[in-house]
Amino acid sequence: MTDILQIGGRELTSRLFLGTGKFASNKIIPEVVAASGCQVVTVALRRVDLDYAEENIANHIPQSCVLMPNTSGARNAEEAVRIARLARASGCGNWVKIEVISDNRYLLPDNYETIKATEILAAEGFVVLPYMSPDLMAAKRLAEAGAAAVMPLGSPIGSNRGIKTKELVRILIEEIPLPIIVDAGIGRPSEAAEAMEMGAAAALVNTAVATAHDPVAMGRAFGLAVQAGRTAYLSGPGAVRQYAAASSPLTGFLHD
């Protein structure tokens, strides 16, 4: 029986979502997507450079992938809504990652504005995946507002610091009846596996892949790690004990 993640009417078999920022060259992205097996890819929306004709990033993303524009750049709900509508007008689909940030040092998201944007965009038929700071009440409001999933950060964007918010993310996984997708700060495949072992529905990774010396190989590693972590979660891991419990029998010793 295949383990499927259902979001926004799509059935995903990969629980690794990939960001497309910071790649030394966008040409490598199709190889990374293939190596990682990811099926959901994020992009950002920006003013076109009128002086320099750049090849559009969508050309480097396989048609079979779900394109998820983020609302990066938005500092409040109104700006996020505007970006989301512009993104949808491109014909890329109706998924949107809400990203509302006005903290420039840690890039921590504004949960309050994110909730407001989620309400508006969910009502307009978007499949809303809000990026948020793991707070249980905020997650509940996001669920009430119509989010299709909740995406709590592991640690600051681009920091590669891993899942510093582990205890709070664990609570979200336990309490919120929506897919919980750890997004931001995952720096190593082992950390993506850790998220999956906790019961996260998926992991979103960008910097750790894009800035690796070999992004294709790192993409492959992350794909494997997410699979391993998910399989481990579904396998029902054994108890964690304080004291030892022998693995070999305590009878039939070669001594008295």
* Catalytic residue numbers, as ranges: 97
**Coil, strand or helix at 146:** coil
Q: Of the ranges 80-88, 160-168, 216-224, 241-249, which one interacts with other proteins (CB under 8 A)?
A: 80-88
Query: C-alpha distances in angstroms, 240 versus 88, 163, 237, 245?
Result: 47, 20, 9, 11
**Collapsed DSSP state (helix, strand, coil) of residue 237:** coil
What are the C-alpha distances in Å from 183 to residues 18, 47, 61, 132, 197? 10, 25, 20, 9, 15
Contacting other proteins (CB under 8 A), which of 87, 176, 221, 225?
A: 87
3-10 — which CB contacts under 8 Å span 24+ positions?
Answer: 3/230, 3/234, 5/179, 5/201, 5/202, 7/127, 7/129, 7/148, 7/149, 7/179, 8/66, 8/94, 8/95, 8/127, 8/148, 9/127, 10/39, 10/66
Q: Which stretch binds other proteins (CB under 8 A): 55-63, 160-168, 231-239, 242-250?
A: 55-63
39 vs 206 by CB, closer to other proteins:
206
Please report whether residue 206 would count as binding other proteins according to CB under 8 A.
yes
Site mask for other proteins (CB under 8 A), range 95-134, x = bound: ----------------------------------------
255 lies in the binding site for other proteins (CB under 8 A): no
**Applying CB under 8 A, which of residues 34, 79, 85, 197 lies at the interface with other proteins?**
85
CB of 248 to other proteins, least distance (A): 48
The least CB distance from residue 86 to other proteins, in Å, is 5
Handedness of CA 186, 203, 70, 166 (dihedral sign): negative
Q: Which stretch binds other proteins (CB under 8 A): 69-77, 118-126, 194-202, 220-228?
A: 69-77
The arrangement of strands across the sheet holding 202-205 comes to 16-19, 202-205, 181-183
Q: Is 42 in the site for other proteins (CB under 8 A)?
A: yes
Binding site for other proteins (CB under 8 A): 19-23, 26, 29, 42-48, 50, 53-54, 56-58, 67, 69-70, 72, 82, 85-87, 89-90, 92, 157-158, 184, 204, 206-207
